[in-house]
Structure 1
């Protein structure tokens, strides 16, 4: 079975050679990064509908991490179209980062629909380099469906850990690789070469929970679930880690 999986994965890698070439000369990224925000806006509507209860439960204790007498501060890494905004508590202060500047249009729409938030600013930055955010300045950091596409998960988690104040929390909800005994695992590896390009660098074969376990947080609350989504991204982890 492993041999068949590797052969099929190689076949799909060959099919993506034209995309590799387009990426190498800069044509793929320049075009797709303009189109992807619209696609993600549409996808996020369906994702939120199916994952509403899970997100509501995940973010239900955000306010527990605010300092006494102060508004809760939230940094969202890879904010995309602002699909998480409606789950944040009233009055919280939000800073958003994303490496794609073309999300700004949809981010503005989400902010208009969620005036219970106090929006501070949007910064164009990757998860691996959050130097624009002061160390130990945030109560919480949120990262959902982002660790599947960053170039360096450990570095991104280091940055999240750095900007959190002592006692602050890192919230996550990510799809991960399936159990090796399942057909989902088989097809995740077979179709990954194509998925990478149509998912803006997304990888469905990552064991992200291992990176979280070794990220140096003092407490990790993590659950594995089968999300009510397409089989490729059905395996999920969610929870929060305390600095």
Structure 2
């Protein structure tokens, strides 16, 4: 199957050649202005399919609220703000993303979710969040983001730095399938397309290995099959405690 997979991937790479050229000459950056509109609509479909999963995951957020204090959540790669609906009432939310063009949709979702307090938006990469002091938040949230960061290990190191002792990192990510499966075959073949459509998405990342090596004192990680298109079914969810 590996030879067939390599051949099919090569064909897809050739078909994506115009996109590669746009990226090389810098014109692909214009896509940064377009993708927020696309992801705003896609995130609504994703939330509909994954509503129960997100509700189950984020129910545990309140466990990390310190007595008598407001729960402070920092969301990495907040995108359009599709997670706000699931946050506990009264939470303070800090948002980061490396694409400032999400702001329009981010503000729309904040207006639709007045049960949380919107603190600020910071344009920054997940690997370099130096505008935040160490141990400054109770919870860090990251959904469908670790597939597209440049360096997963460095991102998780920053997460642990920002979390207060006893705070938690919540994640929900699509991941690579079993290498011998047909799902992995199509993930690998469609990888070039997903990279451009998903703004840098790497569909064959074994993200759980980075989480297991990140140094959390306790890691609650579960593999699951999401009710999505076949090559995007493999997911992981859970949280790690600093």
- Quote how far apart the aligned CAs of 1:229 are: 0.3
Paired residue for 1:4?
4
Q: Counterpart of 2:147 in 1: which secondary structure?
A: coil
Query: What is the DSSP-based 3-state SS (H/G/I as helix, E as strand, rest coil) of the residue aligned with 2:4?
Result: helix
Query: Counterpart of 1:136 in 2: which secondary structure?
Result: coil
Separation in 1 of the partners of 2:32 and 2:172? Answer: 23
Listed as ranges, the gaps of 5+ residues in structure 2 are none
Partner of 1:219: 218
Partner of 1:89: 88
How far the C-alpha of 1:25 sits from its partner, in A, is: 1.3
- Within-5 A mapping of 1:1-243: 1-29=1-29, 31-243=30-242
Taking the aligned partners of 2:195 and 2:91, their CA distance within structure 1 comes to 34
Structure 2 residue matching 1:81: 3-state secondary structure: coil
2:60, 2:16 → 1: CA distance?
43
Displacement after TM superposition at 1:101 (Å):
0.4
The aligned length equals 242
Aligned equivalents of 2:192, 2:44: Cα separation in 1? 26
> Deviation per CA, 1:101-129, whole angstroms, max 9, x where unpaired?
00000000000001111111001011111
* Aligned-partner Cα distance in 2 for 1:129–1:201: 17
TM-score (norm 2): 0.98
Q: Which runs of 5+ in 1 are unaligned?
A: none
Alignment RMSD: 0.7
Cα distance in structure 2, aligned partners of 1:106 and 1:125: 18
Moved over 4 A (4+): none
Counterparts of 1:198 and 1:145 in 2: how far apart (Å)?
A: 14
